Amino acid sequence: MNDHKTLPDTGTSTPMTPEEQPLTDRVNNRSQRPDSAAFKEFMASQWASSTDELPARAPVAAHAANRRRAISGKFVGERLVIPAGPLKVRSNDVDYKFRPYSAFAHLTGLGVDHEPDAALVMEPVAEGTGDDGGNHITTLYFHPMAGRDTEDFYANARSGEFWIGKRPTLPEFKTLLGLETADASGLEVAITKDAGVTTVGGIRIRLVREVDINVDALVDTSRINTSVDLEQSDLLDAQLTEALSELRLIKDEWEIEQMRDAVAASVEGFEDVVRSLPRAMTHHRGERVIEGAFTTKAREEGNDLGYETIAASGNNATTLHWNRNHGTVRSGDMVLLDAGVEIDSLYTADITRTMPINGTYSDVQRKVYQAVLDAADAAFEVAVPGRRFREVHAAAMEVLAQRLSDWGLLPVSVEEALSPAGQHHRRWMPHGTSHHLGMDVHDCAQAKRELYLDGVITEGMIFTIEPGLYFKDEDLAVPEEYRGIGVRIEDDVLITADGNENLSAALPRKPEDVESWMAGIYAGE
Confidence at residue 198, expressed as pLDDT on a 0 to 100 scale: 56
Question: Residue 462 pairs with which residues in a beta bridge?
Answer: 494
Phi then psi for residue 291, to 5 deg, are -55, -45
Q: Is the per-residue pLDDT at 9 higher than 60?
A: no
Q: Is the per-residue pLDDT at 1 higher than 60?
A: no
Instruction: Give residue 201's pLDDT band: very low, low, confident or very high (50, 70, 90).
Output: low
* CATH node for 253-524: 3.90.230.10
Return the closest-CA partner of residue 182 out of 142, 124, 138, 131.
Answer: 142
Q: What share of the chain is helix, strand, coil (3-state, %, to 5)?
A: 40, 15, 45
Lowest mean pLDDT: which of 90-99, 397-406, 484-493?
A: 90-99
| Contact present, 112 and 49 (Cβ < 8 Å) | no
Q: How far apart are CA 123 and CA 72, in angstroms?
A: 9
For 318-471, where are the alpha helices, taking DSSP H only? 363-382, 389-406, 414-418
Strand (E) or helix (H) holding 102? helix 102-108
Q: What is the mean pLDDT of residues 268-293?
A: 98
Q: What's the mean pLDDT when you consider all of the chain?
A: 93
- Taking residue 345's Cβ as centre, other Cβ atoms within 10 Å add up to 22
Instruction: Give residue 7's pLDDT band: very low, low, confident or very high (50, 70, 90).
Output: very low
Which one is predicted more confidently, 504 or 36?
A: 504
**Each residue's pLDDT tens digit, 423-440:** 999 999 999 999 999 999
| Residue 295 exposed, middle or buried by CB count within 10 Å (0-12, 13-18, 19+) | buried
Would you list the domain boundaries of the chain?
Answer: 61-246, 253-524
**Each residue's pLDDT tens digit, 154-175:** 888 888 888 888 888 999 999 9
Q: How far apart are CA 328 and CA 96, in angstroms?
A: 29
For 204-362, where are the alpha helices, taking DSSP H only? 213-225, 230-246, 253-280, 286-301
| Contact present, 150 and 109 (Cβ < 8 Å) | no
Helix (H, G, I), strand (E, B) or coil at 506: coil
Q: Is the per-residue pLDDT at 325 higher than 60?
A: yes
CATH 3.40.350.10, domain 61-246, yes or no: yes
